[in-house]
Structure formats: C-alpha cells, structure tokens
Amino acid sequence: AVLPALALGAGLLAAAWRWLRGKARALTAGSMRGKTVIITGANSGLGRAAAAELLRMRARVIMGCRDRARAERAAREIRAEVGERAEGEGELVVRELDLASLRSVRAFCHRVLQEESRLDVLINNAGVFQCPYMKTEDGFEMQFGVNHLGHFLLTNLLLGLLKNSAPSRVVVVSSKLYKYGEINFEDLNSEISYNKSFCYSRSKLANILFARELARRLEGTGVTVNSLHPGIVRTNLGRHVNIPLLAKPLFNLVSWAFFKTPLEGAQTSIYLASSPDVEGVTGKYFGDCKEEELLPKAMDDLVARKLWDISEVMVGLLK
C-alpha cells in the first residue's frame, strides 16, 4: 500500500509542477521573413522544434540532417503543423549532412554556397551524447568529431557567406555538462582512455571555447557568435544511456514532470537566432534566454586559440 501511495503522491506532485511551470510560449512575435537559417540535426528534438518555430516566423530553414528519409518525414510533419503559407512566407528545405564525415560536411557546404545567395543564421545544434567508443569516418572519437570538429569545419566553410550576409549570427548549442570536461591536448581523440560522460563534457566545453574564439576573430564583421545550454530536455539524445527496466516507469514520470519539452528547450536557440534584443551581442553564453556566467576554464583564451589551431589541422583546413 505504501508504494502505490508514494507513486500517486509523486504523480500529483509532478502534475502540479507541470501546471505551475506552464507550456512554453513560442517566440513567434517577430518575423524572420527574407532570412535564411541553417539548423544541423533539425529532424528531431531541439532542432526540429527550432525549425518549426523559425518557419512560423517566415524564415527559409535549411535542415541539415544525416538521415535524409527521416528528415523528409519530419519536414512534412512540420509543414502540416505550421500550415501552408503563401510564396515568400517561409520555406523548409532538407539537405543531407553527416557531421561524422568531413567529406559530407564539405559536400553540404559546397551545395549551400552554390544555391544560397545569403545565410543569416547558422545554428550548430546536432550532437551525439555518451555513445560507446566509436570513430567517425575520418578516425575521430565520435563525440568530439561530431559535436566539435564537424561543426568547426561547417562553420569555417560558411564564414564567407555569413560575412557577406551581415548582420548575421552563429548559434552554438552546448550544455551545462561542459563543467565536467577538460581539454586534454595529449589525448583529444581519446586513444589513451575513454569515458563517455567525460568525453561528452569535453566536446561541449570545446563548443564554448570555439564560439568564444570565433567571436573574437569575427569582431567588426557584423557576424555575432553566441553559445547556450538548453537545459535538461526530453529528446532522443539520451538513446545511448541505459536505464534499468524496473526504473523506467519512475524515470519516465520524472522526465515528464521536470524535463523540458523540445519546444521549451529550443527557446534560447530561437531567441539567439531571431531576437532584436541580442543584435550585436557576441561571445556570450546563454541559458533560458538570459546571459549566464561561465567557469574560468570556458573563458581561457589561450586554450581556445590552441584548440582552434589544432582543430584546423585535424579537419584539413591547414596542413
């Protein structure tokens, strides 16, 4: 009798918390008409939610996704949710992009540069979370390769278009888990040791350091760069996390009650991509649409520059 009572109490508490927190309000007051936005990993989770909201705001949204079939299906669903609009009132475009393949990143950028006359916003959203040890097509540890190096190359190849489209914005999705990461230059590829949690945190710290260094390099160009953490969100990002079968009902209840929905989690990405409040703001870190402080290790400019230099060599921008 005790366990059912506890479960009922937890359920009522969870429901009350959800009610108090309320549903996220989409930032659809502004307009992104005439703006072109690229979102990586836009077929699910945060990326999908951001794509839908920016489409509502009349942006031309390019979904850069690894699985084209899943992306096309997501695009059809988003169009149905948002509703058909008149020509010039927003557009959703699917393009194949596998961040675990530098060849794919280069092909994606080549097509964008051929087909797009402008790029107003780049949202580096896609990510891999705590996967078993595996390597990308180019031999990089998967989390560091996808979360940092793939986006590093993507952004660099699109910088010319971003500059020509200024004022423009780069938005980098990181995580609060950066706090547990360290940039170990002796083992960036985790050849000596691998811990899936620490390596994820390392990749998210690398995201912030990259955004900080990129913002410094782009001063005066009209291109702003900011990073963010979305909070704890119910997405398929945690598919590699094993939860004991008996604990799943409790986990599902807790996640329903206390985790953000994808739309709630995407609000800061949408805000940084579209809000006039952050026009000209660069090199900052945000959470819940507000600027937040970083730990000193995420503001170490010497480490950021060294990471940049090594990343250039790793992705083939420099020999």
Instruction: Dump pLDDT digits (tens) for 147-165.
Output: 999 999 999 999 999 999 9
pLDDT of 26 = 43
- The Cα 189–Cα 260 span in angstroms is 32
Residue 271 bears catalytic tag = no
Per-residue pLDDT at 204: 98
What does DSSP say about strands 121-124 and 36-40: parallel, antiparallel, or unpaired? Answer: parallel
What average pLDDT does the structure give for the chain? 88
> Could you give the CA distance from residue 106 to residue 158 in angstroms, rounded to a whole number?
10
Q: Which of 133, 178, 194, 200 is catalytic?
A: 200
Query: How far is Cα 44 from Cα 131, in angstroms, rounded to an integer?
Result: 18
Q: Which of 266, 210, 271 is nearest to 237 (CA)?
A: 266
Return the residue matching tokens 């390099």. Answer: 217
Q: What integer pLDDT is reported at residue 230 of this predicted model?
A: 95
Q: Is the predicted pLDDT of residue 96 greater than 90, yes or no?
A: yes
Half-sphere exposure of 221 (CA within 13 A, CB side): 20
The residue-averaged pLDDT of 239-257 equals 47
pLDDT at 170: 98
| DSSP secondary structure code for residue 116 in this structure | -
Q: What is the pLDDT of residues 35-78, one digit of tens each?
A: 999 999 999 999 999 999 999 999 999 999 999 999 999 999 99
How does residue 256 score in pLDDT terms, banded at 50, 70 and 90? Answer: very low
Spell out the domains of the chain, with CATH numbers in brackets: 25-315 (3.40.50.720)
Mean pLDDT of 20-36: 65
In the prediction, which pLDDT does 264 show?
94
- pLDDT digits 0-9 by tens, 202-242: 999 999 999 999 999 999 999 999 999 998 855 554 444 45
Q: State pTM to two decimals.
A: 0.86
Eight-class DSSP state of 233: B
What single-letter amino acid sits at 305?
Answer: R
**pLDDT above 60 for 98:** yes
